[in-house]
Amino acid sequence: MKHLKLTTFLVAAMLATGAAAQEDGGRLDLIVQPEPPSLMLGLVQNGPTQMVSGQIYEGLLRYNTDLEPQPSLAKSWEIAEDGMTYTFHLNEGVTWHDGEPFSSADVVFTTKFLQDNHPRFRAAFSHVESVEAPDANTVVIKMKEPYGPFINAFEAGSMPIVPAHIYEGTDYATNEMNATPIGTGPYKFVEWSKGSFIHLTKNPDYYIDGLPHIDDLYYRVVPDAASRAVAFETGEVSVLPGGAVENWDVKRLTEMDGVCSTSAGWEFFAPHAWMWLNNREGPTSDKRFRQAVMFALDREFVKDVVWNGFGKVPTGPVSSKTNFYSDDVPQYPHDPDKAKELLAEMGYDGTPVRVLPLPYGETWQRWAEAVKQNLEEVGIKVDIDSADVAGWNEKTANWDYDMAFTYLYQYGDPALGVARNYTADQIKKGSPWNNVEGYENPELDKKWAAAAIEPDNAKRQELYTEIQQQIVEDVPVAWLLEIEFPTIYRCNVKNLITTGIGLNDGLRDAWIEQ
Amino acid sequence: MAIAGTIFGRLLKAALTLLAIAVLNFFLIHAAPGDPAVVLAGEAGAADEQMIADLRAQFGLDQPLYVQLYRYVGNILTLDLGYSFRQGAPVLDLILERLPATLILTLTAFWISLLAGVALGVAASARVGKFTDSLITGTALLFYATPLYWAALMAVLVFSVQLGWLPGFGYETVGSGYGGFDRAIDILKHLILPALTLGLFFMAVYMRMTRASMLEVAQQDFVKTARAKGLAPSVIRRRHILRNALLPVVTLAGLQAGQLVGGAVLTETVFAWPGIGRLMFESLAARDYNTILGVFLVSALMVIIFNIITDIVYRLIDPRIGQKA
C-alpha cells in the first residue's frame, strides 16, 4: 500500500510539473514482449501489436483513465437522445503517413475492413444499421437499437482506422503493405529488424501542432525475462511495460534511483483473472463445491505474495475499474471451515480436480501452486495439469479441464468484456474467449440482453447490479484478482501514461527531460 | 576419385533421408495439441468461430491431413518452403533473414571451442600430472559442469551490469547509424559474451578428449619407434601423436557443426540474439507449421552436410580411412 501511495504521489507530481516545460527530441527505448507477429492492427489485435501499432494507427476516439471519451481522429461527436444516431466530426487536414489525405471515406471503408478481420469490432457493430459519410469530414452511424457501450468501442485497438487507398479491392491478408503499415498516428513506421527491434519515427506532419515530442521510438525485443530486467538496469531501455519482467524483479527495479512506476493505463482493459470451473461435469458442476473453492482460496495472500501487493481482490465478474460495477454482492472471505462444511454437505468424495495454469511464466505457475495448497487444506485433491500456449488454448477451447486459469479484458463496459463469459449464447466449443465454463442461467441472459440496449444509465446500473448479485451467488468461475501490471520507467520520461489504454497510445503526449 | 564416389553416394542417401525427415516432422508437428489458428485467435484476446474458421481456411488447415501432406511434400520437392501466415512472409525469407546472425554466433563459438580446446588438451597432455595439467583439467571440468543458461546470466551480470565492459544483449547497437568497419566492431563487441558462453562447454569437451586421446596414442608402438629414432619430442607430438589423436575430436566437431543452425536456442534467448534458434522456438510455441518445418529441414540439411564434410576431413587427416583393405 505504501508503495502504491508513493506511486500515486509521483504520478501527481509528474503531471504537475509536466505542463510547465515540455521538451522536444530524444529517443525512447521500450520493451515489447513477446515480439508481435504483425503490425497491421486491422488484421492482428494481440497485445504487443496493439502496443506498437497504437502509435501508428489511430481510432476515432481515445479514453482517459476514467474511461471518458476524448477526441482523436474525431474532434467532436454527438449522440442522439434516443441513442440511435452517432455523428462524428473528423479533424481536418489529416494525412496518412504516405501523404494521401484522410477522409470520412476511410472510416466507412474501415467498418467494412474490420467486419472481416476483427471479432470484437464485429460484435460491437452487430448493433449498427448503417455507416454513412455525408461529407468528407463527417461520419454518421445509425443503430438498429440503442446500445449503451457503443461509445466505448472507438479506441485504436477496438477500431483502428485503416487507409482505404491501400486496401480497397485487395486481398487484405496478403497485401504487401502489411509489412510497412501506414496510419495517421503520431509516429511512422521505419524499420523492423525481426528478433531485435522495431523503429518508429516522429510524424512531422501530425495534425496536432507540437505533437509528438519524441523523435524516435525503439521497441526492443528481448525474449528472456531476466535479460529484460538487465536491459532496464543498464539503461539500455527506459520503459518496461506491465508484465515485461517477473513480479519478483518489480520491487528491486522500482527501488532504483530515478525509477518511477505506475499502475495507471490499464483502466480500459481492467484485466480480470479467474479460474473457469467446469460447470458441466465433475465436482465443479456442484454449486456448493464452487462456493467451497471460493472460501478455500486465500486470495489476499496471492495478491500480496505472488503479485507483490499489486492488484485488488475482486468481488465478482465486473472489475471495480469497469463501468456499472457493484460491490453489493455476496462475499467470499478466506474461510477454510466454511469450505469444509460445504464440501461435507455436498458429500464430496475426494475425486481429484485438474487445475490448468496459464502458461505465461513463473508467476502463473506459482499462483497455481498456491491454489493447490489452499484447496488441499480443505481436502480437495488437486492435480496440476500443464500445457504450452497452444495446448492451453486447445484444452480450454474444448472444455478439457476442471479448473483453468485465465484472464480477460473488460473494455470499459460489462456488455463488451464481461457478458461474453456468462451468457448461454456464448457457449461455443472451439474458442477460449467465451462462456468456457458452461454457465447457463436463462433469467440472467434476459437481463444481460436488456442491459446492453437500455439507453438509461440508471436502469442499466440496476440490471447489472442484479446480475452481479446472482452470478456471485452461483460462482460459475472463481474470481481471483483484478490484475495490475505496473509500468516501470525512468522518471525523466514524462507524461507517459495519460489514457485508459496507457502505453498503447500514450507516446503521442510523452516527452523526455534532457 | 574415392572421395568423389563417396560424396555422390552420400548425397543420394542424404536426399532420401531429408525427405523422410520432412514427412516425419510433418506428422510430429501436427500431433502437437493446438494449431496456428487457435493460437492466433487466443492471442487476440477475443475470437469467435468465424475468425478461427477464416484463419483455418486461409492457412489451408481445413483440408484433410493427407492433402496438406501432399501439398507440403510437393512444395519442398520444388524447393519451396511455403508461407508463414503468422508472420506474413515466405518461410525462406524468414530463415535467410535470421541465418547470418546465427552463423556468426555459432561459427565463432565453434572455432573458439575447437582451437582453444585442442590447444589446451595438447598442453595438458604434455605436462600430465603437473600443476598446469590440473589447472587446465579443473577449469575445463567447471565449464563442462556449468549449465549454459546460468553461465550466460552470470557473464551478463559481471561483464555488462557490474563492469560495464561489454553489451549484455542484442546483435548490435540499435539506431547507432554505424556502417562498414564501425558496425563490424560493434557486432564483434556484442558477439563476445554469447560466443564465449556457447563455446565454453564444447571447449571443455574438446580439451578433455584431446588430452585423453593424446595420452593414449603416446603409449603406442610407433611413437616409441619415433622416439627411438631420436626425433625431437615436439616433432613427435605434432606429427605423430596429435595427427592420430585428432580423429575422435573431428568426430565430435562434426556433431557440433551439425548443430550450427538450431543448437543455440538458449544462448540466443538470454542474449536476445536475433537468430534462427529463437525463430524455431517461437514458431513452435505459435504452431507456425510452415516456419517450424522449414527450420527443421534446414537444420537437418546442415547435419547431413557436416556429416559428409567430417568424412572427408577424416580422409585428409588419415589417408588409410576409406581405402579398401
ipTM: 0.83
The alpha-carbon gap from A404 to the nearest alpha carbon of chain B, in Å, equals 15
Whether residue B45 lies within 8 A of chain A, CB to CB, comes out as yes
**CB-closest option in A34, A46, A231 to B44:** A46
**CB-closest option in A47, A218, A390 to B38:** A390
Q: Which residues pair with A191 in a beta bridge?
A: A199
Is B47–A431 a contact, with Cβ atoms under 8 angstroms apart?
yes
User: How many residues does the structure list for chain B?
Assistant: 325
State the average pLDDT over residues A149-169: 93
Check whether A16 has a pLDDT greater than 50: no
Mean pLDDT (chain A, rounded): 90
**Nearest chain B residue (CA) to A194:** B274
A387 confidence band (pLDDT: 50, 70, 90): confident
Backbone φ and ψ of A124, nearest 5°: -65, -40
Check whether A397 has a pLDDT greater than 60: yes
Quick one: pLDDT at residue B35? 83
Quick one: pLDDT at residue B324? 52
Whether residue B218 lies within 8 A of chain A, CB to CB, comes out as no
SS3 B248: helix
Tens digit of pLDDT for each residue in B37-57?
888 777 776 667 777 888 888
Chain B residues with CB-CB distance to A224 below 8 A: 269-270, 272
What pTM was computed for the model?
0.87
- What gap in Å lies between CA A29 and CA A503, rounded to an integer? 13
Is A409–B45 a contact, with Cβ atoms under 8 angstroms apart?
yes
Is B272–A390 a contact, with Cβ atoms under 8 angstroms apart?
no
Is A123–B58 a contact, with Cβ atoms under 8 angstroms apart?
no
Contact A472, A330 (CB under 8 A): yes
Is A227–B51 a contact, with Cβ atoms under 8 angstroms apart?
no
The alpha-carbon gap from A431 to the nearest alpha carbon of chain B, in Å, equals 7
B247 confidence band (pLDDT: 50, 70, 90): confident
Which positions ≥6 away from B219 have C-beta within 8 Å?
none
Check whether A17 has a pLDDT greater than 80: no
- Residue found under cell 517461437: B282
Chain A residues with CB-CB distance to B277 below 8 A: none
The alpha-carbon gap from A117 to the nearest alpha carbon of chain B, in Å, equals 7
Whether residue B286 lies within 8 A of chain A, CB to CB, comes out as yes
Whether residue B177 lies within 8 A of chain A, CB to CB, comes out as no
Is B47–A408 a contact, with Cβ atoms under 8 angstroms apart?
no
Quick one: pLDDT at residue A328? 94
**Nearest chain B residue (CA) to A432:** B42
Whether residue B162 lies within 8 A of chain A, CB to CB, comes out as no
SS3 B56: helix
Check whether A18 has a pLDDT greater than 50: no
Which positions ≥6 away from B321 have C-beta within 8 Å?
B314, B315
Is A46–B43 a contact, with Cβ atoms under 8 angstroms apart?
yes
**Nearest chain B residue (CA) to A46:** B44
- What gap in Å lies between CA A158 and CA A90, rounded to an integer? 18
Residue A240: all three cell numbers together: 518496461
- What gap in Å lies between CA A57 and CA A40, rounded to an integer? 9
Backbone φ and ψ of A88, nearest 5°: -110, 130
Chain B residues with CB-CB distance to A232 below 8 A: none
Backbone φ and ψ of A147, nearest 5°: -140, 95
The alpha-carbon gap from B97 to the nearest alpha carbon of chain A, in Å, equals 8
**CB-closest option in B35, B47, B170 to A196:** B170
Is A388–B285 a contact, with Cβ atoms under 8 angstroms apart?
yes
Minimal CA–CA distance to A494: which of A480, A475, A477, A513?
A: A513
Chain A residues with CB-CB distance to B44 below 8 A: 44-46, 119, 433
Per-window interface: B 189-208 vs A, CB < 8 A: none
Is B282–A196 a contact, with Cβ atoms under 8 angstroms apart?
no
**Nearest chain A residue (CA) to B47:** A119
- What gap in Å lies between CA B78 and CA B165, rounded to an integer? 48
Contact A317, A468 (CB under 8 A): yes
The alpha-carbon gap from A412 to the nearest alpha carbon of chain B, in Å, equals 15
**Roughly what angle, to the nearest 10 degrees, separates helices B243-258 and B180-218?**
130
Whether residue B97 lies within 8 A of chain A, CB to CB, comes out as yes
CA distances from A232 to A8, A250, B115, B117 (A): 22, 11, 36, 36
Query: Which letter does DSSP use for residue B19 in this model?
Result: H
Is A119–B46 a contact, with Cβ atoms under 8 angstroms apart?
yes
Contact A363, A246 (CB under 8 A): yes
Is B168–A197 a contact, with Cβ atoms under 8 angstroms apart?
no
**CB-closest option in B33, B44, B85 to A45:** B44
Amino acid at A36: P
Quick one: pLDDT at residue B204? 92
Backbone φ and ψ of A312, nearest 5°: -150, 140
**Nearest chain A residue (CA) to B163:** A234
- Provide, rounded to the nearest whole percent, the portion of chain A with pLDDT above 70: 96
- Provide, rounded to the nearest whole percent, the portion of chain A with pLDDT above 90: 72
Chain B residues with CB-CB distance to A179 below 8 A: 88-89
Amino acid at A321: K
State the average pLDDT over residues A268-290: 94
Chain B residues with CB-CB distance to A47 below 8 A: 43, 45
Chain B residues with CB-CB distance to A222 below 8 A: 169-170, 272
Minimal CA–CA distance to A200: which of A512, A493, A508?
A: A508
Query: What burial class does residue A487 get, using C-beta atoms within 10 Å of its C-beta: 0-12 exposed, 13-18 middle, 19+ buried?
Result: buried
SS3 A187: strand
SS (HEC) of A362-407? HHHHHHHHHHHHHHHHCCCCEEECCCCHHHHHHHHHCCCCCEEEEE
Q: Which residues pair with A240 in a beta bridge?
A: A488
Chain B residues with CB-CB distance to A197 below 8 A: 174-175
The alpha-carbon gap from A226 to the nearest alpha carbon of chain B, in Å, equals 8
Q: With left for phi above 0 and alpha for psi between -120 and 50, is residue A3 left, alpha or beta?
A: alpha
SS3 A150: helix
Quick one: pLDDT at residue B43? 75
Backbone φ and ψ of A397, nearest 5°: -65, -25
Which positions ≥6 away from A424 have C-beta within 8 Å?
A435, A439, A440, A441, A442, A445
Quick one: pLDDT at residue A3? 44
- What gap in Å lies between CA B274 and CA A412, rounded to an integer? 37
**CB-closest option in B34, B161, B174 to A196:** B174
Residue B149: all three cell numbers together: 543458461
Is B272–A428 a contact, with Cβ atoms under 8 angstroms apart?
no
Is B33–A34 a contact, with Cβ atoms under 8 angstroms apart?
no
Whether residue B49 lies within 8 A of chain A, CB to CB, comes out as yes
Tens digit of pLDDT for each residue in B203-245?
999 999 999 999 998 888 888 888 888 888 888 888 888 888 8
Half-sphere exposure of A435 (CA within 13 A, CB side): 17
**CB-closest option in A220, A390, A394 to B285:** A390
Tens digit of pLDDT for each residue in A417-441?
899 899 998 888 877 778 999 999 9
- What gap in Å lies between CA A99 and CA A45, rounded to an integer? 25
State the average pLDDT over residues A300-309: 92
B311 confidence band (pLDDT: 50, 70, 90): confident
Quick one: pLDDT at residue B322? 66
Chain A residues with CB-CB distance to B157 below 8 A: 230
Contact A31, A220 (CB under 8 A): yes
Amino acid at B321: I
Is A119–B44 a contact, with Cβ atoms under 8 angstroms apart?
yes
**For chain B, how are helix, strand and coil distributed in percent, rounded to 5?**
75, 0, 20
State the average pLDDT over residues B101-128: 91
Tens digit of pLDDT for each residue in A223-259?
988 889 999 998 999 999 988 998 888 989 999 999 9
Tens digit of pLDDT for each residue in A437-493?
999 999 999 999 999 888 888 999 999 999 999 999 999 999 999 999 999 999 999
A62 confidence band (pLDDT: 50, 70, 90): very high
Is B34–A428 a contact, with Cβ atoms under 8 angstroms apart?
no
Mean pLDDT (chain B, rounded): 86
DSSP of B289-302: HHHHHHHHHHHHHH
- What gap in Å lies between CA B47 and CA B35, rounded to an integer? 15
Quick one: pLDDT at residue B45? 65
Check whether B58 has a pLDDT greater than 70: yes
**CB-closest option in B47, B88, B98 to A38:** B88
Whether residue B249 lies within 8 A of chain A, CB to CB, comes out as no
